Homo-oligomer: A and B are copies of this chain.
């Protein structure tokens, strides 16, 4: 058995140095790199270019908040129960970043990545993929939105920022081909939503598909902190619980 290893950082008991992927944290990272650069660096193992940083910042920001979402409501309810432990409130809210809300960029990114990795015709690959998902009664991840129609302005803005920052554009093109195949298969137009946009844009900067959903996780975590803080001084949980207590109990 080979000894287990890590390339992320020095193990704890190392006093003389404090390294992250070969860089001295105190001297080379703190005071020199932003959080966004460091997050990209620790995950990907390479420093992002200034263009990539601007795109990554936009990707992290776009899902920070969307009002009183189910995530925010959960974090606020937990804050009300354990007000001294913000890590518990934030963790609880993050558990909702799944396949339904704000977590679908991973599925879409995987399709784009698989398409790029194969040798055949790209459109045919995507057409077949859409057919396969529909046969399994599954949604195509990254498409559809309850009220952003015909476009999700967040996806549009992400593409704009990506193009302003010199992306090659092949994944953005690909996700649009995917959208065309979705529309063709459905016989009507489906909105490419923000997670479809994120899948393409994060692929452009080589943020790995396997952890793509983490952009929602980190972004949304920041927004949940704001909700927890607001709940402490301008609470909504009391009203929500008044509403919940009004749910009528029916006898069997």
Q: Which residues of A contact B (CB under 8 A)?
A: 1, 3-15, 18-22, 25-26, 29-31, 33-36, 38-39, 42-43, 45, 54, 57-58, 60-62, 64-71, 73-74, 77-78, 80-88, 90-92, 94-101, 103, 106, 147-148, 153-154, 157-158, 160-161, 164, 208, 210-211, 213-214, 216-219, 221-223, 225-230, 232, 234-237, 239-252
**Smallest beta-carbon distance A226→chain B, Å:** 4
* Stoichiometry, copies per complex: 4
**Smallest beta-carbon distance A168→chain B, Å:** 19
13 contacting pairs across A/B (C-beta < 8 A):
A5-B236, A5-B249, A6-B67, A7-B251, A13-B245, A29-B61, A30-B61, A33-B57, A39-B64, A42-B222, A73-B241, A74-B74, A74-B77
A6-B250, A66-B9 known; A26-B217 Cβ under 8 A:
no
Check B96 against A77 for contact (C-beta < 8 Å).
yes
Check A230 against B85 for contact (C-beta < 8 Å).
no
Closest to A30 in B: B58
Check A100 against B74 for contact (C-beta < 8 Å).
no
Give Cα distance in the complex from A174 to B1, angstroms.
Answer: 42
Check B12 against A66 for contact (C-beta < 8 Å).
yes
Closest to A224 in B: B214
* Across-interface contacts of A221 in B (CB, < 8 A): 217-218, 221
Check A19 against B249 for contact (C-beta < 8 Å).
yes
* Across-interface contacts of A86 in B (CB, < 8 A): 106, 211, 213-214, 217
Give Cα distance in the complex from A10 to B153, angstroms.
Answer: 15
A58-B30, A92-B92 known; A229-B243 Cβ under 8 A:
no
**Smallest beta-carbon distance A103→chain B, Å:** 7
* Across-interface contacts of A4 in B (CB, < 8 A): 235-236, 239-240, 247-248
Check A249 against B67 for contact (C-beta < 8 Å).
yes
A29-B61, A65-B20 known; A99-B77 Cβ under 8 A:
no
Closest to A235 in B: B4
* Across-interface contacts of A34 in B (CB, < 8 A): 34-36, 57
Check A57 against B35 for contact (C-beta < 8 Å).
yes
A11-B245, A38-B61, A236-B244 known; A31-B18 Cβ under 8 A:
no
